[in-house]
Structures are given as C-alpha cells and as structure tokens.
Chains A and B, each alone.
Chain A
Amino acid sequence: MHIDEKELINDLKDETRRAMAFHILVKSYQERLYWHIRKIVVNHDDTDDVLQNVFLKVWKSVENFRADSSLFTWLYRIATNEALSFINERKRKSHHLLDEGSEFLLSTLEADEYFEGDQAQLKLQKAILTLPDKQRLVFNMKYFDEMKYHEMSEILETSVGALKASYHHAVKKIEAYIEDN
C-alpha cells in the first residue's frame, strides 16, 4: 500500500480524520513492525502484546509528533524501545538480567509453536540469540531486513561506523557458533 506520509501525518493530527488515518497507518506498518519486534522478543504472543503497545503509544502521542524524523523512523524507534523494554523486564522477572547469552530467549525459541524453519535455521536463530541485544538488533535489521545503515542509524541513534562494526562482530560470532555447534 502506497501512502503519502505527509498527508497521513496531517490527517493524524486532525481530530476529525485521525481515526481513519490511524487505521491506514496500522494497516501500512503492522507487518513490518511485527517482524521487527518478533525478531527481538521471539515469541508470537509477546510480539502481539508489544505491537499493540506500540500502536497504542502512537495513538496517544501522534498529536505531538513533530516530524523531526520520518514516520517510519519514529515507529521503528518506538517499536525497538518497547521490545527491548519488554525483554529486559522479562529477564528481570526471570532473574536473567546479567545473562548476556539470553537463556530466557533461547528457551522461548525452543518452545515457539510458530517456528517454521529447518534445523539449520534454528541453529542460526540460536546463534543470533547468543549476541548482546544491541548487536542482535543490528544483525537482524541488516541481514534479514536488509535495511540501509543510514536508516538504522536514525532508528537506533547510533553512528553508521559503530553499526558497521557491530554487524561485523555479530557475523563473526554467529559464524563461530555455527561452526562449533
């Protein structure tokens, strides 16, 4: 679905047209945001919760959206923050806060009833889950979503150089994990 972002933003700020514009916004971004969140939180039900929270936040704060960044960047930023907050909260509750290896997410992956990949893909996902959260995020956005570094830089508010380095380290760690396991 092609949308004119400026027009959509104007409609979202107009109380009389907000509901319709919001519906279009949800339909346009729900899938992309879902997959972005799913790669962070792994479980489908958790992803559903986080995605609803993201759109709820958007609904409540869209009036104050200042268009300093694009709508796409703003939405991805909210989704990223919500997803990371969610897993940090879960880790805190499961006493896994200091566990960089994300044992909690590994067990979630193994129990995921909607995982449709083969054994090699499962191994890759396990390798990805051994990465620190930020590195994992960078790897997923680059490797699977094929996002450009400058877009990632805006969303994650990190320099392009730091992102390239992060991706490079992530690839090396994943390759080592796959070879060793």
Chain B
Amino acid sequence: MKEKKEHKESPLSHIKKENPFGTPEAYFDTFSERLNSRIKAEEQPAHRLQWLNILKPVLGLAASFALVFFLLYVPLENFLPGIWNNYLAKHPGNTVQTDAPGDNYFETLMNYQLFSSSDDLQILSTLNDVDNTMATDTLTSQQIEDYIVMNYSDWEILRNYNQ
C-alpha cells in the first residue's frame, strides 16, 4: 500500500509544462521603443516640475491673497453700503457729505472712522484749548476765524464744522 502511494503519479505530469500565456503580436520588438519614449517623457517634465515647485508657493500665496481680497471686497461692496447708509440716516452727526455721489464705500468708511474715533476727542480738546487761552466773550467772530485759520488745517476746520 505504502509502495503504491509512493509511485502514485502526480496530476501535474498530465499537464503540458509550457507557458500558456501569450503576448500581442511583435510586443517584444516594439517594447524598447515604447520604453525609450516613456523615459524621455519622464525626464522632460522633471525640468518643468522643478520650476513648478519653485513657483508653487508663490502662486499659492498670490491666489490666497486674491481669494481673501475677493471674499472681503465683494460683500463690502454689495452689502455693507446699504447698512452704512442706514446707520448714517440714524446718526446724522457722523455724516460727511462728499461732492461725488458715486464715492465708494471705502471712502465713506474712512471718513466715518476718522470722525468717530480719537478725532472726536481731539476736537473736544481743541475746543477746550480755545476756551482756556481766550475769553470767548471778548473776541469777535473775525478774530476767532483768524485764530482758527492760523492754527488749524482745512481738514480740521472741515471736521469741526461738520461736528
């Protein structure tokens, strides 16, 4: 029984021991050419990639700035002028009338900021200075006007006038 088992023929012996796979016609004749094309193709973009790698952070940064600008500018341009105009209507003390009706939001915003922050305090202190240095009841309008023209710029005068 043991002997019979040892001499048992392997099922592999009934199968042809040859490669059953095939290739497309002339595959090996053209392989070298295709390989060369691929090597050339891989080597060329390497130079381009180097430049791209250098430019990539710069382009990324520029794109980020552009995106941030766009995200800020569009809502400000489109939505906030309306809000701002409403605010001005309710708070006429903060208004600055500009000659050009088409002045954009940024100009309005700038004016508002100038008048609503530390400049208010500056105006108050200016008025206080006038009170301290001169007795207003003894001065004529002309004297006050001269004093103001001599001591303050047009911008400050305008600002005080609007206030």
- Which residues of A come within 8 Å of B, CB atoms? 23, 26-27, 30-31, 34-35, 38-39, 44, 48, 51-52, 55-56, 59, 112, 114-118, 120-125, 143-144, 171, 174-175, 178-179
Contacts and interface: CB of A to CB of B under 8 A. Distances in A.
B20 A116 contact: yes
A59 B32 CA distance: 13
A135 B57 CA distance: 48
Contacts of A48: 27, 31
A66 B20 CA distance: 36
A23 B35 CA distance: 10
Contacts of B23: 34, 44, 114
Interface of B: 10-12, 14-24, 27-28, 31-32, 34-35, 38-39, 42
Contacts of A56: 35, 38-39, 42
A120 B24 contact: no
20 contacts: A23-B32, A26-B32, A34-B31, A44-B24, A52-B38, A55-B35, A112-B21, A114-B23, A114-B24, A115-B22, A117-B20, A118-B16, A120-B14, A120-B16, A122-B20, A143-B12, A144-B19, A171-B10, A174-B12, A178-B15
